[in-house]
Structure 1
């Protein structure tokens, strides 16, 4: 049997209006309003912080997505360029640093278009850039 032994189901949900679960007499009453049909009423109750439930501002969500795409793209671009420079200094095939540099270039393009608001395309370009860098790692 899974679950907590001291948990109880609200009478409107369980259908047992006159049956009280054992060990529930010391619990405080719930502040949930239940209608005649057994449906729970939501009156826009406040959170613990005292703020009402509000949807996030779409402009703020878009701004955060642009910053995330630009930041991730810049980070992956710098990582690809650093890896290309490190591989260039070793005696390896020229294809390896070229693959890292190409992946970094794709990530740089993703950074640019992500900062312009095309975050889905930027995500796919970041994935493609990392895959090109992984191909360069496999060639090593």
Structure 2
């Protein structure tokens, strides 16, 4: 009797149980758009984990987007916790997501603002919280 190797599907870095390809990967590749501000937040966190600066710039509001982004190769992101959302659904034009993103050695606590531009959610800016 032979045993088939079992494949372990690792959940997406954004914290949802789906595989990356079925979760944030489809947003990163451009085959789908994040349907809510929270999903955009999760996909942006995942882009930081994967060092996908192009996606981060593409999903940044044109009004506040920097010309380039420098991702620290030494930062090891270890988890995302969504603490609160306000608005940001399919029925809203703006919203906020409060989150804590952990990295080896600390965490980042932020309330991020999102808006729709041409129907797509984009990151506007955020306030660091203690």
Give me the TM-score of the superposition, normalised by structure 2. 0.20
More helix by share: 1
More strand by share: 2
Give me the TM-score of the superposition, normalised by structure 1. 0.19
Q: Which has the larger radius of gyration?
A: 1
